[in-house]
Amino acid sequence: MSEPALSLSGLNKRFGAVVAADNLELEVAAGEIHALIGPNGAGKTTLIAQISGELAPDSGRIRFLGRDITGLAVHERSRAGLGRTYQITSVFKDFNVLNNVILAVMARKGQGFGFVRPARSDPTLRDPAMEILRQMGLEARARDKAGALSHGEQRQLELALALALKPKLLMLDEPMAGMGPEDGQNMVEFLQGLKGDCAMLLVEHDMDAVFALADTISVLDYGRLIASGPPETIRTDEAVRRAYLGTD
Amino acid sequence: MRRRIFPLIGLAVFMMLPPLATWIGEPYLVSTFTRIVIFAIAAVTLDLLIGFGGMVSFGHAAFFGLGAYVSGIIAHHAAEQITLFGLPATDQALIIWPLAILVSAAAALVIGFLSLRTSGVHFIMITLAFAQMLYFLFVSMEKYGGDDGLMMLERNPLPGLDMSDDWSFYYLCLGLLAVVLFILGRLINARFGMVLRSIKQSGPRARSLGISSLAYRLTAFCIAGAGAGLAGALMANHNGFVSPALLHWTLSGDILIMVVLGGIGTLYGPVLGAVIFLALEEFLPLAFEGAGLPGFKEHWRVVFGPLLIVIVLFAKSGLYGFLLGKEAADV
Amino acid sequence: MLLFFEQLLNGVQLGVFLFLLAAGLTLIFGIMGVINLAHGSLYMAGAFASALALRLSGSFTLALIAAPLAAGLVGLAMEVIVIRRLYARDHLDQVLATFGLILFFNEIAAISFGRQPLFMNIPPALNSTVELLPGAPYPVYRLLIIIAGLLVAGLLYVLISRSRAGSLIRAGSTDQEMLSALGINVKMLFALVFAFGAMLAGFAGGLAGPLLSVEIGMGENILILTFVVIVIGGIGSIRGAFAGALLVGIADTLGRAFLPGLLKLMLPPAEADGIAAGLASMAIYILMAGILIWRPAGLFPPQGRSGA
């Protein structure tokens, strides 16, 4: 058994009376798609924020590829190979699509301190960026302002930014949110195609997508992990049915 | 491509201003033009912070005044033949001006490091407060004239140029403005500028891509401080005089207004802003006189204040944005 | 020791002034999210109004009533004409527009009263001293300012934490839509809060008249000190404003009073004077820098909905 990509141990986080993480233990194996589900307010987005470093847990440790990253800043975790997308689309709206990805490629290479040569015509940035846009099917929109893209395209660009980092673990916060059935299906297929390149931690409300994609599913309720296992076990789990699927 | 043409037209106009002033029989205007060019340097560097870095600094005059005082103090020591920190002082521009730039950049490093721990309103208030701290520091320095300031006997000599000639000094300042604009233009489109602009749009997103926003913002803060230091050194030479007024917070406000008048987030806009601001300062008093209200001549700000409010409320893109339309913004 | 006691009281008195300004400014920022550079102009308006009232009526009581009233009216007009258009704008717009207001008010004051400072005398009834400690006489007027300021602070605390108006104010800072849904006129509430902040500033201006000269630009110097207070205390927190104001008032006063003497113990007198003057003028900013390193959000960062 190889080392897990991510392991959380004894993670706690409260906001006043609200418990967002209650002594959480979780492991994401290398290369797997690990889905995180649970009712609204279960603490899924908060958990992603803690893993990415935007929120500090009250206690507990976060290990990434065998290294303790609990004390690292957001950008340091990203440099270590942790990529993420946001639930609310967060692309650079004033840049064009290509420049968005160029920025991410530049960030991955750690080459932001260039003061003279224009960045957007530099082939060492531009070619890999175009390659990613081709993968995402966004190349035709390369010259358009990101703010002018449709919602679905912005979701794709959001993912393109994360992919440009070549992450070892990709955290996806509701990648299908607000997408129509067709775009959603495309996204599922695309994520399937990525399988094996990197581990994924997927938060998603679309259960069809979750069961189609996930190798492992963990269920959160009020910050507690109430079940974790392969999709078929989760589908029949009593506690999960009661807390979550039953209300569907 | 209006974007290409405007700067060239602008340069041509600036080149022709001194002969034009002589031709219309108002040669003293060269001094006003020099002021415009010097303030333009300060304004374009402030726009690097506000328009490209999203850092609303209300303390830019601190670095401007610091650069001026470095020139003034070293020249003072040279004139009085007193050593400075054990070193013999000089009046050579080639030594003094780079020193002014360095000192301002160093001050920006310290002030920026502290101020950038915060953002938003905190940042505005803190940059304002630190600038005012330097203001009071110079007010309390009796050794260098305190409130009254410090006279400079002559401009810092530069080999191959007659600095006492107002035309030469004007063209020198204009050349330096062009250099600063060239450097900033490269910078904004280079990797550094892209990262800086991305942080302005969304700091959290940039950080999630692995970008350390503090490092980039602090570097930009130092570069802007250095540019303001150069402008300050030039202003000291232009006035032949330095005083705490050059660090006063209202001057920070003035430079900020120039940026907004011209157009935030554009490279050349602030130059236009400096032109408008100083032209208003020059001509609003005359307008009062012309309107038969000579008593209001010194009170031109009573009109300028509300004018500024109207501009902020209704014409945010600035004159440069107005002239260039969509082309003003970078993609 | 007695001198120290006296300077300490002077520091508290400066702190009380700063609190009156900082309370209004932080309330306005906390609730409406607007940064108002022209808050100092309201302080100036109060000072000029009280000077004028004193000259016309000869009554210091009337002068002290005129100050907050005038500043409140000016503040109300300011809110209706300019400030309410800035609530939805970014901080840069707010800074610029209120900077424009400062330019306007300073020139209006110059046109109306001239550029020469006006001097107000301390009313004879208050122009005496009391012995708080044996051998340490302290001016009655300054003591009165301290008491008045502390009273206002207490009143504010009760108002915001106990009253219905206070709970509306606290709600306004977080949930405007809910307030509208309850049928409360948010526009009116904001205007009143702004005018209230203006009255506090005007009151401070009226009190300051006899101690400082009433002149153009008096508002800006104290405004920047007020910013330091707010940054130290935590923006939006009345409690922070109070703590920050006292801290800044005392640090500034004690620094100016005792640094020269302290430095003379270590350095030759000529140098000590120069360095002490510089250090004393920088003391509160150094204090601010220290607090920023230690706690970037200030001493009492407001949490959630508690505005007080």
Ordered per-residue pLDDT tens for chain A, 248 residues: 578 899 999 999 998 888 899 999 999 999 999 999 988 888 899 999 999 999 999 999 999 999 999 999 999 999 999 999 998 889 999 999 999 999 999 999 988 899 989 998 899 999 999 999 999 889 999 999 999 999 889 999 999 999 999 999 999 999 988 888 888 888 899 999 988 889 999 999 888 899 999 999 999 988 899 889 999 998 888 877 777 655 54
Instruction: List Cβ neighbours of B201 (8 Å cut-off, separation of 6 or more).
Output: A92, A93, A94, A95, B54
Measured between CA atoms, how close is C130 to chain B, in angstroms? 34
Question: Is residue B140 within 8 angstroms of chain A, CB to CB?
Answer: no
Separation between Cα atoms, residue B286 and residue B17, nearest integer Å: 21
Q: Which domain holds residue B236?
A: 9-248
Instruction: Record the pTM.
Output: 0.90
pLDDT of residue B2: 72
Count the neighbouring beta carbons within 10 Å of the beta carbon of residue C3: 11
Nearest to C213 by CA among C145, C141, C122, C119: C119
pLDDT of residue A245: 56
pLDDT of residue B329: 52
Give pLDDT tens digits for A94-112.
Answer: 999 999 999 999 999 988 8
Give pLDDT tens digits for B263-312.
Answer: 889 999 999 999 999 998 888 888 888 887 777 777 888 888 998 999 88
Inspect the interface and report whether the beta carbons of B197 and A117 lie closer than 8 Å: no
Which one is predicted more confidently, C123 or C204?
Answer: C204
Measured between CA atoms, how close is A1 to chain B, in angstroms? 30
Average pLDDT of the residues of chain C:
86
CB pairs under 8 A between B and C: 125
DSSP 8-state secondary structure symbol assigned to residue B50 = I
Identify residue B147 by its one-letter amino acid code.
D
Percent of chain B whose predicted confidence (pLDDT) is above 90? 64
Architecture in CATH of C8-129+137-294: Orthogonal Bundle (1.10)
pLDDT of residue A240: 78
pLDDT of residue C280: 84
Whether B328 maps to a domain, the answer reads no
Whether B45 maps to a domain, the answer reads yes
DSSP 8-state secondary structure symbol assigned to residue B295 = G
Nearest chain B alpha carbon to C30? B121
pLDDT of residue A248: 44
Measured between CA atoms, how close is A124 to chain B, in angstroms? 12
Question: Is residue B316 within 8 angstroms of chain C, CB to CB?
Answer: yes
Nearest chain C alpha carbon to B139? C278
Measured between CA atoms, how close is C275 to chain B, in angstroms? 8
Phi, psi of C136 (to 5 degrees): -130, 80
Inspect the interface and report whether the beta carbons of C293 and B56 lie closer than 8 Å: no
Separation between Cα atoms, residue C244 and residue C300, nearest integer Å: 9
Question: Is residue C29 within 8 angstroms of chain B, CB to CB?
Answer: yes
Separation between Cα atoms, residue A32 and residue A5, nearest integer Å: 9
Separation between Cα atoms, residue B220 and residue B46, nearest integer Å: 10
Nearest to B42 by CA among B71, B23, B17, B64: B64
Question: Is residue A49 within 8 angstroms of chain B, CB to CB?
Answer: no
Q: Is the predicted pLDDT of residue C307 greater than 80, yes or no?
A: no
| Chain C (196-215) residues lying within 8 Å, Cβ to Cβ, of chain B | none
The SS3 of residue C59 is coil
Inspect the interface and report whether the beta carbons of A75 and B210 lie closer than 8 Å: yes
Q: Is the predicted pLDDT of residue C130 greater than 80, yes or no?
A: yes
Separation between Cα atoms, residue B72 and residue B156, nearest integer Å: 10
Our count of domains for chain B comes to: 1
Whether B259 maps to a domain, the answer reads no
Question: Is residue B159 within 8 angstroms of chain A, CB to CB?
Answer: no
Longest dimension (CA), chain B: 63
Question: Is residue B326 within 8 angstroms of chain A, CB to CB?
Answer: no
Question: Is residue C101 within 8 angstroms of chain B, CB to CB?
Answer: yes
Separation between Cα atoms, residue C41 and residue C71, nearest integer Å: 9
Separation between Cα atoms, residue B102 and residue B84, nearest integer Å: 16
Question: Is residue B197 within 8 angstroms of chain A, CB to CB?
Answer: yes
pLDDT of residue B295: 72
Q: Which chains touch A (3 or more CB pairs under 8 A)?
A: B
Tell me how far CA of residue C9 lies from CA of C14, C137, C250, in angstroms.
9, 11, 8
Q: Domain ranges in chain C?
A: 8-129+137-294
Distance of CA A139 to the CA centre of its chain: 22
Separation between Cα atoms, residue A60 and residue A152, nearest integer Å: 37
Separation between Cα atoms, residue B151 and residue C61, nearest integer Å: 48
Q: Name the residue facing B129 among C97, C107, C228 (closest C-beta).
A: C228
pLDDT (tens digit, 0 to 9) for every residue of chain B, 331 residues total? 677 788 889 999 999 999 999 899 888 899 999 999 999 999 999 999 999 999 999 999 999 999 999 999 999 998 888 888 877 778 889 999 999 999 999 999 999 999 998 888 889 989 998 999 999 999 988 889 888 999 988 898 898 888 889 999 999 999 999 999 999 999 999 999 999 999 999 999 999 999 999 999 999 999 999 999 999 999 999 999 999 999 999 999 999 999 998 888 999 999 999 999 999 888 888 888 888 777 777 788 888 899 899 988 887 766 776 776 655 555 4
